[in-house]
A and B are shown apart, each in its own frame.
Chain A
């Protein structure tokens, strides 16, 4: 299948960046996805789970964009879903709206650490996109 994808970002390089999450406490998996819900690269997630995360993540990012726009707050940056079992954070990669990153963490993760690591990861991915 040929997809219109950001040509500069190779799947392999992106996967390498995501591997950095192996050192962040409590992180269970991470998925980089296009704004229309396709997985681009993932870390520690099986194929089915990462495809679902990509789809739901893209809906949330789109709803976040719609909500921020509705409130006159500009562009969507990130959203975090917290539950008693842990947290999921969805963050936009770079300044384009073309992709976002979803990271799932258990309750042993520290939210501040998770957000900080995710922001760093997004910056690294953005550099790959637009060096």
Chain B
């Protein structure tokens, strides 16, 4: 049973550590998000001071009173168990990546593999940050990576600190969901 039939709806933001999941949710949530950030002791993996180890939670309330729940996952592989907990029943998934981070293309594979089983309607959108850093792969490189696996999903360059960019990701996801509902061929 899907979350929608139960009157619930959630969008999951995922991606590796430091890609901006907590920032993205904070940028669009209408309430102060629930955070589970703790001190990051692994400065080799990423220089940032804090990291999410449970989940982020924010929400958007619609005019008819129904609520879209926004969840952010932890990024590190050791929290893989949280990915499945949070991914279950998601209407759509937004994968955030930092193009300038080492192995960013491989990270795309990791998160697509982990979350594709959870999303119906092909509702997956990839947001890539810092594509302007010298030698960082372009969004085309990420899209080609998806092409090679036969996946057609939008890859959009974003700055998750900008509310407009995060909303563009959500809008794109909603357009995909709507198109599959209206025009999709039943499986």
Inter-chain CA distance A98–B78, complex, in Å, is: 18
The proximity string for B residues 37-61 relative to A, scoring 1 for CB distances below 8 Å and 0 otherwise, is 1111111100000010111000000
Contact of A65 among B36, B41, B76 (CB under 8 A): B36
Interface SS majority for chain B: loop
Contacts of B76 in A (CB 8 A): 37
A51 in the interface, Cβ–Cβ < 8 Å?
yes
Compute how far the CA of A79 lies from the CA of B76 in the bound complex, rounded to whole angstroms: 24
B137 on the A face (CB < 8 A): no
Number of inter-chain CB pairs below 8 Å? 68
* Cβ-based interface call for A56 (8 A): yes
On chain A, the residues within 8 Å of B82 by CB distance are: 59
Partner of A98, one of B39, B43, B44: B39
Contact A70 B51 (CB under 8 A): no
The 5 A-B pairs with the shortest beta carbon distances in the complex, nearest first, are: A62-B36, A35-B38, A62-B54, A55-B78, A63-B54
**Chain A residues in contact with chain B, CB under 8 A?**
1-5, 34-38, 51-52, 54-56, 58-60, 62-63, 65-66, 70, 97-98
